[in-house]
């Protein structure tokens, strides 16, 4: 079956009779069946209906291979090689350095990559959107006898499957693309832990439309970025007066042409600071991957970033409406910064 069909029907064998969608079960303890052979539900919650549906469906979307047996918590590497990306990951490494002496190095230090080390790649990058060459990094890891993990928050299975490149571990954000309505805190990592019942219930419902949303959001992003990119090339245009450059994976030479996250660099910090909060269709919030379109002045949550940088997450809305929303906001900013009217 295709990936869209599997997202809908993969959990059918684990669903109760007559239930089109899995019911939300919140109980933590269950009685054994009078016939213990016919029902395996127990107090450990492993066979709870709602999490089971989610655990059955997720592997169907991104098939697990025999080589993917390494659990990040058990790797205990001496060194972690990591580039730019989500600042939360970098913050998580700091306690490991303090407690276990794990050293953090950059991707420019791969000549020091050794046996048992961890090479962590984020592709596409957050918040700037560049796609990494996974084949290159997998080869580097294998040559050194190191592990390689990929943070694929911006590229769910519909867009790219890092496991096909020989990656050991893949991380996905359940909050972003699985839970599409900004109501579900969840991360997906092959570790065997149990997702909460409510989050599982929300997630399985959202998985039904994952294929449709990813394709639609990628199409919206490509149209939106294309329009802005064209305007940036026109001297004296309204967009040029406010925007320095636009970036998205499809604008670069890479094997990933899709994705719903784009980066927009404003000409001035003062523009970037005020711009997101004045938009109507694009909401100013620090998230991505949902059905709504969001924008964030990145400096608010990611210390050290270019203060002119804004991150755009395209939802399922119309790209032309998003562009129109931006143009109207640019016009309003011209009243605050009249000198911008004369930028060529």
CA distances from residue 155 to 144, 158, 161 in whole angstroms, order as listed? 26, 8, 8
* C-alpha to C-alpha distance for 121 and 107, rounded to whole angstroms: 9
Q: What angle do CA 342, 299, 290 make, to 5 degrees?
A: 100
**What residues contact residue 8 under an 8 Å CB cut-off, 6+ apart?**
208
Q: What angle do CA 183, 186, 190 make, to 5 degrees?
A: 155
DSSP 132: P
Give, rounded to a whole angstrom, the gap between the first and last alpha carbons of the chain. 54
Residue 317: strand, helix, or coil: coil
Whether the model pTM is above 0.75: no
Q: What angle do CA 259, 261, 262 make, to 5 degrees?
A: 115
**Which residue in this structure is represented by tokens 């640019």?**
330
* C-alpha to C-alpha distance for 217 and 261, rounded to whole angstroms: 9
Least Cα distance to 265 among 319, 221, 228 occurs for 228
Surface-to-core class of residue 66, CB atoms within 10 Å of its CB (0-12 exposed, 13-18 middle, 19+ buried): exposed
Query: What's the maximum distance between 2 C-alpha atoms anywhere in the chain?
Result: 81
Pairing mode, strands 283-284 and 294-297:
parallel
**Which domains, and CATH codes, for the chain?**
72-180 (3.40.640.10), 212-342 (3.90.1150.10)
Q: Helix axis angle, 319-336 relative to 269-278, nearest 10°?
A: 130
pLDDT tens for the 344 residues of the chain, in order: 676 666 665 766 665 555 656 666 655 445 445 554 554 444 444 455 555 555 545 554 443 333 323 344 567 888 999 987 777 777 777 777 777 788 899 999 999 999 999 999 988 887 777 888 999 999 999 999 999 988 888 777 767 778 888 888 888 776 666 666 566 666 665 444 566 777 777 778 888 888 888 889 989 998 999 999 898 888 888 888 999 999 887 776 655 556 788 899 999 999 899 999 899 889 888 888 888 898 999 988 888 889 999 999 998 999 999 999 999 999 988 887 766 555 54
Least Cα distance to 229 among 218, 239, 216 occurs for 239
Pairing mode, strands 103-105 and 79-82:
parallel
């Amino acid at each position: 079956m295709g990936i869209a069909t599997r997202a809908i029907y993969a959990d059918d064998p684990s669903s109760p009779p007559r239930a089109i969608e899995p019911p939300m079960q919140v109980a933590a303890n269950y009685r054994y069946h009078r016939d213990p052979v016919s029902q395996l539900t127990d107090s450990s919650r492993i066979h709870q209906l709602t999490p089971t549906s989610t655990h059955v469906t997720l592997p169907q979307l991104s098939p697990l291979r025999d080589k993917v047996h390494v659990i990040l918590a058990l790797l205990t590497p001496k060194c972690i090689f990591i580039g730019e990306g989500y600042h939360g990951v970098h913050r998580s490494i700091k306690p490991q350095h303090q407690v276990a002496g794990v050293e953090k190095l950059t991707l420019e230090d791969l000549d020091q990559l050794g046996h048992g080390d961890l090479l962590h790649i984020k592709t596409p990058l957050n918040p700037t959107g560049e796609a990494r060459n996974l084949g290159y990094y997998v080869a580097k890891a294998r040559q050194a006898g190191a592990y390689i993990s990929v943070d694929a928050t911006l590229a769910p299975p519909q867009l790219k499957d890092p496991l096909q490149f020989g990656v050991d571990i893949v991380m996905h954000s359940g909050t972003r693309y699985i839970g599409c309505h900004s109501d579900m805190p969840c991360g997906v990592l092959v570790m065997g832990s149990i997702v909460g019942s409510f989050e599982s219930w929300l997630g399985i419902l959202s998985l039904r439309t994952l294929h449709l949303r990813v394709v639609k959001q990628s199409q919206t992003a490509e149209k939106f970025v294309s329009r802005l990119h064209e305007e940036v090339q026109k001297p004296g245009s309204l967009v040029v007066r406010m925007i320095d450059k636009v970036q998205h994976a499809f604008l670069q030479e890479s094997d990933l042409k899709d994705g719903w996250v784009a980066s927009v660099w404003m000409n001035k910090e003062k523009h970037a600071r005020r711009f997101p909060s004045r938009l109507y269709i694009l909401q100013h919030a620090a998230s991505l991957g949902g059905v709504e379109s969001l924008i964030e002045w990145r400096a608010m949550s990611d210390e050290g970033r270019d203060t002119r940088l804004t991150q755009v997450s395209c939802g399922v809305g119309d790209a032309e409406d998003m562009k129109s929303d931006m143009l109207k906001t640019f016009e309003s900013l011209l009243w605050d910064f009249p000198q911008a009217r004369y930028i060529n």
